[in-house]
Amino acid sequence: MRWRRLSEEEARAAQNILRLGARRIATRDLYHLMLTASWPTFFAALALFYLVFNCGFAALYLLQPGSIAGGEQGYLADAFFFSVQTMATIGYGGMHPATFYANVVVSFEALLGMAGFAVAAGIVFARFSRPTARVLFSRVAVVTPHEGVPTLMFRCANERRNRILEAEAHVYFAREETSSEGSTLRRTYDLALARQRNPLFTLSWTVMHPIDDGSPLHGIDPDFLASEDATVVVNLMGTDETLSQTVFARHSYRADEILWGHRFVDILDRREDGRRTVDYRRFHDTEERSD
């Protein structure tokens, strides 16, 4: 879906910003890094750690010849698989520790192995149990008259077949400004909404911001938005009915993704049998106003 690609592009754009003078905290925040990494990256890192861990202990077993009974002396493969059996507490078959040194290393490895499996299992569970929202945002926002007032609108929809309780949307307008002293800064303004809360967010919700005299968008045209590198940022939160946990969704609209003089096509209808329908095939469609 396009909204997922946009989120990935925004994340990459944030990572590409050069933060001069800022300390690198990735290595000190390994837990957060493992939670936010993609699944292929996570499993690749897990496999790499598993390989390095067992190779390291295999080297320790090879330091003392004859420490592993039943294995070929000085053979790295036997020492590696002996380490795998020890780490996973599988139980020994043909190979077993033969010396006091080997038993000390085995005890130390078994302790680290149990701790490592517990940490890995906790991270996997945290990744699976992390609450996420499946909210679909319209690809574009529109500026069109509503009740005689120019209004910024965009659509959002709950893609799951449940409800988000007490859903609440917050919309911000971010733009670059130059102060009277000549300093360039990025300033954010709150955009008041016609309806900020949706008690039962089940299907579709059109979020609207009236551009009246008190709006930060009042008197702004599309060319000005583009010149100021302006962005409309949307944060949506609520309680997932199934998970009973708070979920979040975020989206943003650049200046070229805000269509002026357009309106969304109607996606709500009612069949002859009285049932209401929502046509998500036209969810992103807009049409130019003729009036």
pLDDT of residue 128: 86
pLDDT of residue 9: 46
Same domain? For 139 and 202 the reply is yes
Same domain? For 243 and 260 the reply is yes
Nearest to 173 by CA among 212, 237, 228, 136: 228
Which two tokens mark 108?
């130390």
pLDDT of residue 137: 93
Query: Residue 248 domain-assigned?
Result: yes
pLDDT of residue 52: 94
Question: Which of 97, 129, 161 is at the close of a domain?
Answer: 129
Parallel/antiparallel/unpaired status of strands 231-240 and 164-178 = antiparallel
Same domain? For 115 and 153 the reply is no
Same domain? For 61 and 158 the reply is no
CA distances from 21 to 16, 93, 145 (A): 15, 55, 47
pLDDT of residue 1: 40
Same domain? For 237 and 262 the reply is yes
pLDDT of residue 27: 56
Same domain? For 90 and 154 the reply is no
CA distances from 109 to 28, 51, 194 (A): 24, 14, 62
pLDDT of residue 19: 57
CA 208 and chain centroid, separation: 25
Domain count, the chain: 2
Same domain? For 166 and 113 the reply is no
Same domain? For 27 and 78 the reply is yes
pLDDT of residue 269: 80
Query: Residue 3 domain-assigned?
Result: no
Query: Residue 283 domain-assigned?
Result: yes
Which two tokens mark 198?
């949706």
**For the whole prediction, is pTM greater than 0.75?**
no
pLDDT of residue 21: 54
Question: Which of 114, 129, 144 is at the close of a domain?
Answer: 129
Which portions of the chain are predicted below pLDDT 50?
1-15
Same domain? For 40 and 180 the reply is no
Question: Which of 70, 104, 129 is at the close of a domain?
Answer: 129
Range of the domain at 171: 135-288
